[in-house]
Amino acid sequence: MFNIQKAVSRLNFAPKLNEIEITDIKNGIGAFTPKAEKPVSYAALKETLKKAGYTLASAKITVNGKLSRDASGWALLSDTSGQRFALEGEGVELALPDVSPNAQVEVTGDWKTGGEGKEVISPLPAKKAARSHNENGDNPAQTEYVDVTSGGPMEAGPPPVAPIRTTSPGLTVYRGGAFTPRYIYLRQTLAGLKVDRHIMLLDFSYTPTPKLLVEAEIPVTRISFKDGTTSGGGEGIGNVIISGKYRFFRQVEAWGDRQAALRFGLELPTGNKGAPDEQQLQAPAFVRQQLSPISGGLSPHVDLTYSQAKGRFIFGGNVEGVLRSERDGFRMGHELRVNTDLEYVLFPRKYDRPGGEVFAILESNFIRRGIGRVAGAPVPGSSSTEYYLAPGVQYAMRPRFVIEASYQIPVARNTEPQVLRIERGLLVGVRLLY
Amino acid sequence: MTRAAVSATLLVALFSFVLGQGERPAPKLELKDVEGRALRLSDYKGRVVLLNFWATWCAPCRAEMPDLVKWQREYKGKSLQVIGVTYPPEELTEVCEFIKSIKVNYPVALGYEQTKAMFDKGETLPITVVIDRKGMIREVIQGIIFPEEFEQKVRPLLR
């Protein structure tokens, strides 16, 4: 904004810098009233903006003055500067109905500089000037008005691309690294069994190149259960996932970023496999195994993600596949996940620099899980199809500090008899970028 | 109080006022350039330094850099030293590609938000800090530095 004001204020017909108003930062629109006695030039305006790195897309001007007509057509003589503006374009006659030469009018129209420095207005419908204005001879304070549209990106802060959230299906690849501790609470049930799962997910990521992000996720889990007659619990580290995400597509537009990335991850068999035994919990082995911090052994993850911003909305979606292998004969079924993420930028209402952004979020998660195994054998009744919605909010307090929270609600759960059902989930996290 | 004493007092006050208009010693600054070498502001004492904060994503910054290249070339013999300092978020490869594309003939260091904050607390980019031969900050030019500003605020220091 400041650079546009500064560039325009260099012109001899421009007012002081602080009198040049930027009316729309996002679209680069500004307005100013030129000095009354100075002739104006569209070409000069365009040139000074070009010098500052901007492209003048179009300009509108309003001039109060006296009409004249000669062999070359209609013209307008400014009351204040005496400058002559040629009135051209198909709409001139239409725009100046019932007017005759010497009539006092106010003309607004598209402004250009024609050949030989001739200033040209293609008018919109004109207004006859108020009689009192003619009689007392005063000129209005704002005799001319220029509306400048700059096609170039603004200064001060990254270009006005839509702010991008950093959670799932997060694509943002920062230079440097990030540490994202997240707390996740899940309430699961199965018949009379109630399970509370508290997960502290420690996520470390680093960006060695602008398109590549490497990441390690370390879950630390505490589980407690009760089934009316007995209760118990356990805790431990879960399976660590290491992954690399490659952003293969990115198109940056003003509030219209589009990007896509492919992620490969490997879930390592690092987790605590301890689960309650039959004496601690009267339940089938597959159910008891689900009360450990792990879902199986070494498991590759593949994830394709796309996100698109449009205006204040951001949409993201990803498809993820997890191929599970057994650990000591146990694994949950292979997984297919389809996640979508719709965001709305609540604040700021006018985006001019990063930070202080508040997003309203609605995530959806579809999970199809195949048949699991225990003791090396398939377990009938262990597959599931689930669909959840998670409204949430994210606050990017500073470009490198983000706080987020969401609440997961089940919408549809077609879980077979041996699968724990999620009743609700809560996520609270922060992201620190360094 | 005699008239002479009053005049002297006024002169001292005036001198203090003039000195107070933005002149202060440049802070100690040590950064890494794009090739990982140390860049110390103190190494340029005795030269007129233009410390230009910029970013590849800032259109006005990119627009003014050809002028900085030109001034560095024209006034190198008069002890002008332009130093570019990037402002985050930046990607090193983009910085390198850009400075190569416009043949930047002065050192470019990788800066941080705090680096710029040492000279200017505002949000505007680019800014150019004018440091005289004695290491005093003479001016912080906010926004793009236009040729007339260079003539008015930098050229006199090069004599």
User: In sequence order, what are the residues at sequence separation of 6 or more whose Cβ sits closer than 8 angstroms to the Cβ of residue A422?
Assistant: A186, A187, A188, A386, A388, A408, A410, A413
Rounded Cα distance, A149 and A49, in Å:
10
d(CA B95, CA B85): 11
Query: What pLDDT shows up at residue A113?
Result: 87
Mind telling me how many Å the CA of B143 is from chain A's nearest CA? 5
Top-confidence residue, B7 or A390: A390
Mean pLDDT, residues A305-318 taken together: 84
- Cβ atoms of A60 and A110 within 8 Å: the answer is yes
A52 interfaces chain B, CB cutoff of 8 Å:
yes
Query: Are the beta carbons of B63 and A52 separated by less than 8 Å?
Result: yes
Q: In sequence order, what are the beta bridge partners of A147? A: A31, A60
**A398 in contact with chain B, both atoms CB, cutoff 8 A:** no
Do residue A154 and residue B90 have CB atoms under 8 angstroms apart? no
The C-alpha atoms of residue B48 and residue B36 are separated, in whole angstroms, by: 24
Name the token pair of A334: 């292979």
A51 part of contact set with chain B, CB < 8 Å: yes
- Return the pLDDT at B22: 54
Amino acid at A133: H
Q: Which residues of chain B have pLDDT under 70?
A: 1-22
pLDDT of residue A267: 95
CB B61 within 8 A of CB B49: no
Strands A84-87 and A119-123: parallel
Q: Which residue has the higher pLDDT, B152 or A357?
A: B152
- What is the tens place of the pLDDT at every residue in A220-247? 999 999 998 889 999 999 999 999 998 8
Ranges of beta strands (E only) in chain B are: 24-25, 30-33, 38-40, 48-54, 80-86, 108-110, 127-131, 136-142
Is the pLDDT higher at A59 or at B4?
A: A59
3 state DSSP class of A129? coil
A356, pLDDT greater than 90: no
Looking at every residue in chain B, the average pLDDT score rounds to 85
pTM above threshold 0.80 = no
Secondary element (H or E) of residue A48: helix A42-51
Provide ipTM, 2 decimals: 0.79
Test B59 with A174 for CB contact under 8 angstroms: no
- Sorted by sequence, the CB contacts under 8 Å of residue B121 that are 6+ apart come out as none
Nearest-CA residue of chain A relative to B93?
Answer: A210
| Residue A40 identity (one-letter amino acid) | V
CB atoms within 10 A of CB B147: 13
Structure confidence at residue A279 (pLDDT): 87
What span, in angstroms and rounded, lies between the C-alpha atoms of A423 and A403? Answer: 24
Is the distance from CB of A105 to CB of A130 less than 8 angstroms?
Answer: no
CB spacing of A154 vs B91 below 8 angstroms: no
Q: How many CA atoms lie within 13 A of B120 on its CB side?
A: 21
- In angstroms, what separates the C-alpha of B63 from chain A's closest C-alpha? 5
What does the DSSP 8-state code read for residue B26? P
Residue-wise pLDDT for A32-50, tens only, equals: 888 888 889 988 998 888 8
Please state, in angstroms and rounded to a whole number, the distance separating the CA atoms of residues A27 and A115.
29
Q: Note the pLDDT of residue A65.
A: 83
Angstrom distance (rounded) from CA A325 to CA A403: 35
Q: Does B117 touch chain A (CB under 8 A)?
A: no
Interchain CB distance below 8 Å, A155 and B125: yes
Give the Cα separation of A361 and A317 in Å (integer): 13
Q: Is there a contact between B125 and A159 if contact means CB atoms under 8 Å apart?
A: no
Q: Does A432 touch chain B (CB under 8 A)?
A: no
What's the rounded Cα separation, in Å, for the pair B56 and A53?
12
> Are A159 and B93 inside 8 Å of each other by CB?
no
Q: B113 Cβ partners below 8 Å, 6+ apart?
A: B87, B88
CA A255 to centroid of chain Cα atoms: 7
Contact A54 B94 (CB under 8 A): no
**Of A199 and A250, which is predicted with more confidence?**
A199
Check CB contact of A6 with chain B, cutoff 8 Å: yes
Are A423 and A189 in contact by the 8 Å Cβ rule? The answer is yes
Helix (H) / strand (E) element for A58: namely strand A56-70
Query: How far is Cα A69 from Cα A305, in angstroms, rounded to an integer?
Result: 63
What residues contact residue A108 under an 8 Å CB cut-off, 6+ apart? A60, A61, A62, A63, A123, A124, A126, A145
Which of 137-166 (A) contact B at CB < 8 A? Answer: 152-159
Amino acid at B64: E
Say which residues have a Cβ less than 8 Å from residue A20's Cβ, sequence separation at least 6: A4, A5, A8, A9, A14, A30, A31, A32
